[in-house]
Amino acid sequence: MRYLPHTPTDISHMLATVGLESVDELLVQVPANLRAQQALGLPDGCPEAEVLERAGELSTSNSILPSFQGAGCYRRDVSSVVSAVLSRAEFATAYTPYQPEVSQGTLQACFEFQTYVALLCGLDVANASLYDGASALAEAVLLSLRVGRGRRRVLMSAGVHPAYRAVTETYLRGSGDTEVELIGLDKNGRTDADLLERALGDDVAAICTGYPNFYGVIDDLGTASRLARRCGALSLSVTSEPLALGLLRSPGELGADVAVAEGQGLGLPISYGGPGVGLFAARQQYLRQVPGRLVGETRDSNGRRGYVLTLATREQHIRRERATSNICTNQGLAALAVTTFLGLAGRKGLRKLAALNTARAHQLAERLASEAGLAPVFSAPFFNEFAIEVPDSKHWFENCVQHGVVPGVRVADLEGSCADGGENRVLVTVTEVNSDADFDLLVSTARQSMAA
């Protein structure tokens, strides 16, 4: 096996050193009644060329069509510099920086990542990342329950990504009597402020607002934060398209206490939905309740600047069952992709890319309205995705796909969503990747499919 270096001579030497004649003698530690009764029933191993051949068959049996799918996972033009950095084995094959003296690369990159996340979110501190946006929301809700001792209700906007809501429910299930109350959207696509106000109470731990929300709408996070403050709850901002934060007022500026986001849209491929990376930022006062890894700046014994993992007493390997989270590491390499991407985009480029996305999305929305009679369902301002409603969305959708374009995401196909009678809604997403030719294809197909 090409990954194994040990020759028969090496093996004999090692066995002789150990004082045994065969590896089997080492394995007698495993009692006979627990030993495997037969060889592993996996296919035979194979040379690299065969691995590539089979993988090639599988990957090409997928069909990649022009697509307007987003809904938490965004196609983006990413510089080759990002993949070049990620392919550095010094980053890819290192582990959690337990020995900071030989891990300064990873640690400094994490420190830069934390800085970017805090700046983007307009908050004081950020961690070195969590698994994804969905589990980041779950962790933020758990933080709000720790901070708001005894408070047991969480007000969740229906505009929060349905998968994030579902994951949060999973995390909460079986741990106390927390109730998640869904707050519907108004006819403009924003969280219904009246419903939210009526649901307030001194037992509310958090108000969670999608920003932009699942339908692309730039929700009124400021009002949600104000209402949260009124009842002593935390305001949690939830973003699945992180590029929006490069253009819109920051969650911190709008009063959020904790902001979470999926970072995939800042440098990671869509890759069938993973890996992603969870961004997590908070106000300074919640620092000791933040889950996950934190990197801090310090000095070495010669007074030179350096970085270490810090405030580890919040974490499972020290605090065990009293830790702020069970998370062990972060999404190091995915966070590095985000860090590299943001460095390339920089102060002007990120804003410009975000502006391009929103401008293009509005162009398509106008064309779908004027040329195919498909106006956005919601009238509130949106970032780079918007919902349309078509009669018999299943049939319409399939028809589009047959014509070689994936028009978006059928909301009814998503788990846990569509509580508000939107079974014929399709969420259309536009990024800089979508060309004018894609627009033409979608508009003409949409029109024909309406007629069909």
Residues 392-411 that bind other proteins (CB under 8 A): 397-398, 401, 406, 409
- Between CA 385 and CA 303 the distance in angstroms is 50
> Is residue 188 within the footprint of other proteins (CB under 8 A)?
no
Q: Classify burial at 444, counting beta carbons within 10 Å of its beta carbon; exposed 0-12, middle 13-18, buried 19 or more.
A: middle
Instruction: For residue 388, state whether it binds other proteins (rule: CB under 8 A).
Output: no
Instruction: Quote the DSSP letter at residue 148.
Output: T
- Residue selected from 241, 257, 315, 385 as contacting other proteins according to rule CB under 8 A: 315
For the segment 330-349, give every residue that binds other proteins (CB under 8 A): 330-334, 336, 339-340, 342-349
Q: Which is nearer to other proteins, 39 or 437 (CB)?
A: 39
Please report whether residue 58 would count as binding other proteins according to CB under 8 A: yes
- How far apart are alpha carbons 6 and 15 in whole angstroms? 12
Write down the least CB distance from residue 451 to other proteins, Å: 21
User: Does 30 sit near other proteins (CB under 8 A)?
Assistant: yes
Choosing from 21, 51, 395, 435, the residue that interacts with other proteins (CB under 8 A) is 51
Residue 104 or 444: the one with the smaller Cβ distance to other proteins is 104
Site for other proteins in 206-225 (CB under 8 A): 218
How far apart are alpha carbons 406 and 216 in whole angstroms? Answer: 18
Per rule CB under 8 A, is residue 45 in the interface with other proteins?
yes
Selected from 274, 392, 403, 412, the binder of other proteins by CB under 8 A is 274
Where residue 178 falls (left for φ over 0; alpha for ψ -120 to 50; beta otherwise) is beta
Q: 346, exposed or middle or buried, with CB in 10 Å at 0-12, 13-18, 19+?
A: exposed
- Please tell me whether residue 125 binds other proteins under the rule CB under 8 A: yes
Instruction: Say whether 373 sits in a helix, a strand or coil.
Output: coil
At closest approach, how far in Å is the CB of 214 from other proteins?
A: 12
Question: Which residues are CB-contacts of 238 (< 8 A; sequence separation ≥ 6)?
Answer: 133, 137, 140, 160, 161, 164, 208, 209, 210, 211, 259, 260, 261
419 binds other proteins (CB under 8 A): no
Interface with other proteins, residue 150, by CB under 8 A? no
Residue 355 engages other proteins in binding (rule: CB under 8 A): yes
417 binds other proteins (CB under 8 A): no
The C-alpha atoms of residue 448 and residue 452 are separated, in whole angstroms, by: 6
Within 13 A of 396's CA, how many CA atoms are on the CB side? Answer: 25
415 is an interface residue for other proteins by CB under 8 A:
yes
Query: Cβ of residue 236: shortest distance to other proteins, in angstroms?
Result: 17
Comparison of 231 and 353: residue with beta carbon closer to other proteins = 353
The verdict on 33 binding other proteins (CB under 8 A) reads yes
Residue 225 vs 231, nearer CB to other proteins: 225
How far apart CA 58 and CA 55 sit, in angstroms, is: 5
Residue 369 contacts other proteins per CB under 8 A: no
Classify each residue of 84-121 as buried b or exposed e, where b means 16 or more C-beta atoms within 10 Å of its C-beta.
ebbeeeeeeebeebeebeebbebbbbbbbbbebbbbbb
Interface with other proteins, residue 11, by CB under 8 A: yes
Binding flag, residue 163, other proteins (CB under 8 A): yes
Adjacency order of strands within the sheet including 425-429 = 385-389, 425-429, 409-410
Of 268, 269, 263, 310, the residue nearest 287 (C-alpha): 310
Give the nearer residue to other proteins in terms of CB position, either 213 or 358. Answer: 358
Q: How far is the CB of 117 from other proteins (least distance, A)?
A: 8
CA 351 to chain centroid, in Å, comes to 20
With residue 308 as reference, give the H or E element that holds it: strand 305-309
195, 311, 375, 450: residue in contact with other proteins (rule CB under 8 A): 311
Comparing CA positions, the residue from 284, 159, 280 lying closest to residue 224 is 159
- The nearest distance, CB 231 to other proteins, in angstroms, is 26
| From candidates 247, 261, 390, 441, binder to other proteins by CB under 8 A | 247
